[in-house]
Amino acid sequence: MLGLSALGVVFGDIGTSPLYTLKTVLALAGEHPTADVTLGVLSLVLWTLVIIVSVKYVSFAMRVDNDGEGGILALMALLGIKRQQRPAIVALGLFGAALIYGDGAITPAISVLSALEGLNIAVPAMEPFVVPAAVAILIGLFAIQPFGTAWIGRIFGPIMALWFCSIALLGIWGVLKHPAVFAAIDPRYGIHYLLSDGLGSFLVLGGVFLCVTGAEALYADMGHFGAWPIRLAWSTVVFPSLVLNYAGQAAIILDGGSTQGNIFYRLCPEPLLIPLVVLATLATIIASQSIITGAFSMSRQAILLGWLPRLKIVQTSAEGYGQIYVGAINWMLMIATVGLTIGFGKSDNLAAAYGIAVSLTMLMTSALLFIAMREVWGWSLLASGAVAGCFFTIDAAFFLANVVKVLDGGYVPLLLAACVYGVMLIWHSGAAAVARKLHATLVPVDQFMKQIVAAGVPRVPGTAVFLTRSTHGTPPIMAWHVKRNRALHKRLLALTVQMQSIPWVADEDRLSMAEEAPNFWRVTARYGFMERPDIPVLLRHAHAGGCGIDLDDVTYYIGRETVVGRERARWPLRIRSRLFALMERNSAHITDFCRIPVESVVEIGRQVAI
């Protein structure tokens, strides 16, 4: 059952790639491909599926998990906690994650367009309506996200199962016309083609790579289903269906079929063409949904790891932790996707922009896998270098073949990724600068308590909880509260929430508590990057653990920083400070993020110059 569910969530992108991959490859190879060319490019497609998906991701990458979670951010976090300072690993992981956002904007556009282009064959008069229909479908897809996708998720698996059965049967029908097409299983056909035409043959790899553009999802969604169901679904359903369909498309070309238009739809008998277009459209919507859901999940990981501003995250279903909605990400992706659909107009044009982001992400994953082989598995330098080196060389070849697409549209995902990467760096460095500024003025707790006694500051009934970034000294928000209000509660609790570089934190490791002064408790709460803090629940656990607080009379004190740039700072730093300040002002409130009841919150503003 988990394998069936994985068909709808994990394999939507790679499962719809036959709609556009082979026609793009043959277009790059020439208008009238010979039998050797057709068998050569088919061999390259088949062996790319084997090496990249079956070997690299299914056999190797999915064995490197961060407490069951996968994906480049989880891998970055796993390797990053091995040592304190690993800027190279952080840079690889973050830019790889940022590239996935760029790919996420293109995937829905190219998938839905390629599905609807079947109408050009079935009903040629419908050609002017393909782009408007694609735009309408995409807007509708993004518009339903706030309502949650749990109700759609129940039918995703069966629909994709029907899709894979359909493309497999279509492939068999095509293969029967020219069974000799299976000679392409021999890798020598692919190698011979690569060596036959120099640079021209090498650049065809840019089109071949489209067959594995959804492979990163296998690794990223591992935490939702587990490694075994994904491996089962890939080996028994997805991989055989893809092989049969690509072989069927190549077979009708070998049998003298035309390469004009969408080759995928030429496999289909004419009476079934309209139903196939409908099924393909549903499959591409599901593929697009999986990309959107993946973007939401990755955004949450980045937020909790401290690399993105706090965004409002809505849990849309109690059935699964992955059922979330992030409004800001949803609408930005919609604007980018609809803009690409209108701007490029055809899936052939979008294919030029597609692949460069994913190939670069896979290249970075290979580099991180090398480190994982050395540090997680304990392999020797020779063994790690041999295996990871093969992956890196193949990924580098695909990336270089895709680089030529930059001027033809490949700059779009790179530009989107650069913007996301810049946001990540500015937010993380700005938050660190604010923390350093605040920590520089900390007063020891015993000294502060003596000061308020000497000043005759009255102590009032109740418990005050001060949220602070620091794990020592007097919370700055407490000092400002006393300075402005000239009073302090009898029971005090300084609370620091720390996000760990692991997905989940065990209950026994959640809290650490210490009474640093009479009725002054310091509590540190730890959460994994797949968890969401819940402060009221946390306080109940602290109370049960012996922390003397009054749960019926709690007031939360939160600082609201107004960030300003230093007057004498250089202009690059001033720009970064202003951008960070803009993000800080528009980030979600800490009360929403930590589920703090707003009626019990006192917020104190403060200005911080960085």
Find the range with the poorest average confidence among 47-56, 391-400, 428-437.
Answer: 428-437
Residue-wise pLDDT tens digits, 99-118 = 878 777 888 888 888 888 87
pLDDT value at 169 more than 70: yes
User: In this predicted structure, what is the pLDDT of residue 434?
Assistant: 82
* pLDDT tens string 303-336: 877 888 888 888 776 555 566 788 889 999 999 9
Give tens-digit pLDDT for 472-501. Answer: 888 888 988 888 888 999 999 999 998 887
3-class SS of residue 269: coil
**Which DSSP symbol is given to 226?**
-
Domain ranges in the chain with CATH number 1.20.1740.10 = 2-429
Encoded tokens for 254: 């070998």
**Residue 177 buriedness (CB in 10 A; 0-12 / 13-18 / 19+):** middle
pLDDT in tens, 554-570: 999 988 777 776 666 67
Could you tell me the pLDDT band of residue 405, with boundaries at 50, 70 and 90? confident
Strands of 389-478, DSSP E: 459-467
Both ends of the chain: CA-CA distance in Å?
53
Q: Which of 116-130, 256-270, 353-367, 486-500 has the highest mean pLDDT?
A: 486-500
> Is the overall model pTM greater than 0.95, yes or no?
no
With a cut of 80, say whether residue 39 has pLDDT above it: yes
* 33 C-beta neighbours (distance < 10 Å), count: 19
Pairing of strands 313-315, 324-326: antiparallel
Give the torsion sign (CA, 99, 102, 104, 106).
negative
DSSP letter at 167 equals H
What mean pLDDT value characterizes the chain?
84
Confidence of residue 250 (pLDDT cuts 50, 70, 90): very high
Which residue, among 571, 603, 13, has the nearest Cα to 292 in the 3D structure? Answer: 13
Distances (CA, A) of 478 to 71, 252, 439: 40, 75, 13
What pLDDT, on the 0 to 100 scale, is given for residue 382? 94
| pLDDT of residue 285 exceeding 60 | yes
pLDDT at 60 over 60: yes
pLDDT, mean of residues 387-408: 89
Highest mean pLDDT among 86-90, 93-97, 211-215: 211-215
Q: Tell me which residue has tokens 């020891």.
A: 444
Q: Is the pLDDT of residue 166 over 90?
A: yes
- The values of phi and psi at residue 314, to 5°, are -110, 125
CA distances from 420 to 100, 214, 475 (A): 10, 20, 33
Residue 185: band (very low, low, confident or very high) from pLDDT cuts 50, 70, 90: very high
* CATH code for the structural domain at 2-429: 1.20.1740.10
Whether residue 421 contacts residue 360, with contact meaning beta carbons closer than 8 Å, is answered with: no
Provide the percentage of residues in the chain whose pLDDT is more than 70. Answer: 94
